[in-house]
Amino acid sequence: MKISKRLGGIDAMVINRYQHIWDCCCDHGQLGMRLLERDAAEQIHFVDKVPVIMESLERRLTHRFGEHNDQWQLYTIDVFTLPIDNYALEQSHLIIIAGVGGELSLQIVQKLLKSYPQHRLDFILCPLRHQYNLRKGLAQLSLTLIDEELLKEQKWYYEIIHVANNNALLGTGESRRLDRPIVATGSLLWENSNALHQAYLGQIIGHYQRSLLRLEIESVLHRQVQTVLSEYYQILNELEE
Ligand SMILES: C[S@@+](CC[C@H](N)C(=O)[O-])C[C@H]1O[C@@H](n2cnc3c(N)ncnc32)[C@H](O)[C@@H]1O
């Protein structure tokens, strides 16, 4: 099945085998289908709140993977109500949230961690905007960074962020391979940087510079944007060294 470069980038970030992968806000379900096709988890769960989308997806899944295939499940629900508690605490979950805004992505992660603090939840996030605020919010939760990647498809840049809830492992004797803090501007994102990273950073800096011009000098928002901008300038200095 041919999928977009963005969805392919998310698929490639799923390296460890999970018991459950949740393709949240799945719409066409292409990502979940790719994961199902390559047997990336014991169960792939497709979640979207729009009934007509899920009816059409159910027909496609039944056609391709069979009606009685217990490796996939559909949920026509709000993603805030994901039924993770249908499964035992020790089962591993990867929750993928792509193609929605960064603020909504953060609210979903906050809600799921609050509802299921002891479940083993990893997240892959690929928001449409507000990556800085998303990461800043993630850093305030009990999450650590597994991986990050930048890619460009047509004229759009996408950040893919893979994080883990390490609190769930407390007392289990298990530890993570990587235990990096989450940095609001991104950290692993800029490793091995090339022209793509430079161009993206230029675009981000240009965006915040234009925002500053629209804000009242000395206002709280102006100071906040200046802080964000200075953090991105720091990245620029490091890339140029
Ligand atoms: C642009 S599509 C993203 C599709 C796919 N994830 C991707 O990245 O290509 C956004 C989907 O999110 C769904 N959605 C938005 N908010 C949701 C929520 N709170 N619960 C479940 N689905 C939601 C919409 O119905 C829509 O189908």
CA dihedral (62, 68, 71, 75) positive or negative: positive
Where are the extended beta strands (E) located within 58-195?
72-76, 92-98, 120-126, 143-153, 156-165
pLDDT in tens, 202-238: 999 999 999 999 999 989 999 999 999 999 999 999 9
Q: Using CA atoms, how far apart are residues 189 and 200, in angstroms rounded to an integer?
A: 11
pTM more than 0.85: yes
Which ligand 1 atom sits closest to the C-alpha of 4?
9
Q: Does the C-beta of 89 come closer than 6 Å to ligand 1?
A: no
Q: Does the C-beta of 98 come closer than 6 Å to ligand 1?
A: yes
**What's the confidence (pLDDT) of residue 68?**
72
Q: Does the C-beta of 212 come closer than 6 Å to ligand 1?
A: no
Q: Does the C-beta of 32 come closer than 6 Å to ligand 1?
A: no
Cβ contact 130:54 at 8 Å: no
Which ligand 1 atom sits closest to the C-alpha of 98?
8
How many residues make up the chain in this entry? 241
pLDDT at 175 over 60: no
The secondary structure of 30-88 as a DSSP string is: HHHHHHHHTT-EEEEEEEES-HHHHHHHHHHHHHHH-TT-TTEEEEES-GGG--GGGS-
pLDDT at 129 over 80: yes
Three-state DSSP class for residue 24: strand
**What's the confidence (pLDDT) of residue 194?**
94
pLDDT in tens, 179-189: 789 999 999 99
Cβ contact 109:36 at 8 Å: no
**What's the confidence (pLDDT) of residue 92?**
94
Q: Does the C-beta of 148 come closer than 6 Å to ligand 1?
A: no
**What's the confidence (pLDDT) of residue 1?**
75
Residue 50 vs residues 46, 58, 121: alpha-carbon distances, Å: 12, 12, 25
b/e map of 21-34 (b: 16 or more CB within 10 Å)? bbbbbbbebbbbbb
Cα of 29 vs centre of ligand 1, distance in Å, is: 10
Q: Does the C-beta of 49 come closer than 6 Å to ligand 1?
A: yes
Cα of 48 vs centre of ligand 1, distance in Å, is: 6
**What's the confidence (pLDDT) of residue 171?**
53
Element (H, E) at 21: strand 18-24
Phi, psi for residue 164 in degrees, rounded to 5:
-130, 150
Cα of 61 vs centre of ligand 1, distance in Å, is: 18
